[in-house]
Chain A
Amino acid sequence: MKVALFVPCYIDAFFPEVGVASLELLERLGVEVAYPLDQTCCGQPMANSGCEEDAAGTEALFVENFAGYDYVVGPSGSCVHHVRDHLTAIPQTDRVLAVRRNTYELVEFIHDVLKVREFPWAEFPHRVGLHVGCATLRGLREASISEVKQAPFSKPLALLSAVKGIQFVEPKRPDECCGFGGTFSVFEEPVSARMGQDKVNDHASAGAEVIVSPDMSCLMHQKGVAERLGLDVRFMHIAEVLNGARP
């Protein structure tokens, strides 16, 4: 199984520890992971702004870096969702389609492909608010949603539940968007900030000590809001928790 690690641009730049945790976690699970050195970004920021044309070069570079691997695994639901659903600024050759098809979000990959449910090296005796970002939730369908009647399920929860000592809190609106939304966070700052405040307050009121998510972009936004509010809540990526890190 040839697996390549895709580290989204903002994780590369601001949260390298999430990339490190993802790599180490996959290796602990017995996967040999390559890291194509010329990768940059998936193209989502430009595409979501309507500028698909401007995303073309980035998307072509993505395919260059990741062609030929059986699996491309990245710790970011929104980036992976973009690759699987919207990497369309370049001609859709077989090579491109294969890369798109083989790109997985980290939790998806561990849950569905590796089928792992145990993380014996991890311990996390804390009250956790689990946040699943909207692309991961509704785009990649990694958990059930409150607006659709269905048997409840959650891939991130299934993995995290195995961690020794972990407890989960119940926020009032577990699957309401937190307001990051990419460039929305800048161009619609008032609503974005308000949504972020509501989200972190919801988790804090429910007793969360740490908010954990497979989506570092959401966490970046929530962390920024929480710090400005002076809330005593920490933020960690699910890869870090599953890899054995503590707050």
Chain B
Amino acid sequence: MKRIDHAEASSKFIEATDHAEFHDRRLWDLRKKRDRESESLPEWQELRGLASAIKEHTLTHLADYLEQFEAAAQANGIVVHWARDAAEHNQIVHELLAAHGVKTLVKAKSMLTEECDLRPFLENRGILVVETDLGERIQQLDDEPPSHIVVPAVHKLRTDVAEVFGRTIGTDPTNSDVHYLAESQRQNTRPHFVGAEAGMIGANFAVAETGTVVVCTNEGNADLSMHLPKLTIASIGIEKLIPRIEHLGVFIRMLSRNALGSPITQITSHFRAPRPGTEMHYVLVDNGRSERLGMEDFWYSLKCIRCGACMNTCPVYRRSGGLSYGATYSGPIGVIIDPTFNLRKYSNLPFASTLNGSCTNVCPVKINIHEQIYKWRQVIAERHQLPMVKREAMRMAGKVLASPKMYRLAVEAAAAGISHLPRTLIYNPFNAWGKQREVPGAAKQTFRQWYVANRGTKQ
């Protein structure tokens, strides 16, 4: 399987200057909005500590909480299924829909269903799947994955959306007024809500105490997906569990503040039992999570509440866009969980980072993201997944820098080399440094040479 080349993809992203500038500005704005919220709550750091501790407690008792959740849900009349991986998840969902003769499924945004690649699986079996979140719908119609877990089409400008809608739902492709575009999607989606035989949601939180699934939206599309059809399904990653209803106080206060800089989403929905006369199903999905739980250095990533704050603060993400990571999860959280899905394919991602550490500082559940990025680099090197060029360069560097004599020879040669080589030899496509930067000028002497000449060698 081919390695994702983040640098190559980012290069294309950056070339589209209007898009790249907007993308960076928009997400930095979300980061600043998050900052304002964090400054307005004196208990901010305490809430982060609580959110982190609640998640760590839950994950270290996850089996018990999963059983409690299942029992509560079943007592409420919900059918609970378990899926070991994406394939089983898709199969379970399809069988349910087929058994009920479902032709149209309306669904709310769920990164888990993206991870499982559910939509093409269902579409190939003759089921129309309608994404109802505006950003997800834009991406669906453009046959492109979402680029950001909270704002899926953040990389698109209004003119792009106008082009997509013009091509697919019959709007005027020259009209890029945002109100017009949003209203068009509302009108186009509504008949699907009304006519769909089944509705599907993901889960922001799953409360073990009561068997409740909690979904936070601004659009109300999750509720429309759940309150109209007779068959409803919630796909739940097993790490979404929290122990009790009271813990929602912490997470609901933190989620939207971190994601969008607003105190709460417009609609915060709690589904505990089916509407009378209807059927409700939960699909609890593992897909590598239980494995990750056993990774001493990396299990903390399971605390993630999918707020996207790490993406918004990440200077690399803002300038390369989520799609350049080639995975459902991108940005800082992506680079620490994607290698668990496929080490080789995603082996470059932990290097798409400057290790600046701001992601760790904004994470509402205190995941030590940048430290995990550093540790993944060690794992990737140990498992021989580094590109040959880099591996050899580091081996060489390690030898030279471990020997004072070899080091001095190399440093003095480098200085000499730079001062004598013609520009064309230094600045060529193989010298990545020199593509957009001048190389440092040669020093007349190294510091050591200066020291020996001016201060002698006495220690």
Physical contact A–B (CB less than 8 Å): yes
Contact A138 B361 (CB under 8 A): yes
Contact B374 A16 (CB under 8 A): no
In the complex, what residues of A have CB within 8 A of residue B448's CB? Answer: 7, 12, 37
Q: A46-B394, A194-B14 are in contact. Are A40 and B407 (CB under 8 A)?
A: yes
Taking A13-B415, A38-B404, A148-B361 as given, write out 11 further A-B residue pairs in contact, using a Cβ cutoff of 8 Å, ordered by the A residue number.
A7-B447, A14-B441, A14-B442, A16-B446, A46-B398, A52-B381, A53-B398, A54-B397, A57-B401, A134-B356, A180-B354
Answer whether residue B39 sits at the interface, using C-beta atoms and an 8 A cutoff.
yes
Answer whether residue A55 sits at the interface, using C-beta atoms and an 8 A cutoff.
yes
Partner of B436, one of A35, A139, A225: A225
Q: A45-B397, A49-B381, A191-B316 are in contact. Are A11 and B447 (CB under 8 A)?
A: yes
Q: Shortest distance in angstroms between A224's beta carbon and chain B's nearest beta carbon? A: 3
8 Å CB interface, B382-405 against A: 382, 386, 390-391, 394-395, 397-399, 401-404
Nearest 4 A/B pairs, CB to CB: A57-B402, A54-B398, A181-B354, A224-B437
Q: Which residues of B contact A (CB under 8 A)?
A: 6-7, 10-11, 14, 20, 24, 28, 31, 35, 38-39, 44, 313, 315-316, 319-320, 350-358, 361-362, 374, 376-382, 386, 390-391, 394-395, 397-399, 401-404, 407, 411, 414-415, 432-433, 435-443, 445-452, 455, 457, 459
8 Å CB interface, A180-218 against B: 180-198
Which single residue of chain A is at the shortest CB-CB distance from B412?
A13
Contact B404 A14 (CB under 8 A): no
Answer whether residue A9 sits at the interface, using C-beta atoms and an 8 A cutoff.
yes
Which single residue of chain A is at the shortest CB-CB distance from B451?
A35
Contact B437 A225 (CB under 8 A): yes
Give the docked Cα–Cα distance between A187 and B391 (Å): 13
Give the docked Cα–Cα distance between A228 and B434 (Å): 9
Contact B10 A40 (CB under 8 A): no
Binds B, one of A113-121, A155-163, A171-179, A236-244: A171-179
Partner of B354, one of A37, A50, A134: A134
Which single residue of chain B is at the shortest CB-CB distance from A192?
B354
In the complex, what residues of B have CB within 8 A of residue A19's CB? Answer: 447, 450-451
Contact B440 A223 (CB under 8 A): yes
Give the docked Cα–Cα distance between A39 and B446 (Å): 13
Partner of A12, one of B361, B374, B411: B411
Partner of B401, one of A23, A43, A149: A43
Contact B356 A177 (CB under 8 A): yes
In the complex, what residues of A have CB within 8 A of residue B435's CB? Answer: 189, 193
Answer whether residue A60 sits at the interface, using C-beta atoms and an 8 A cutoff.
yes
Q: Shortest distance in angstroms between B112's beta carbon and chain A's nearest beta carbon? A: 28
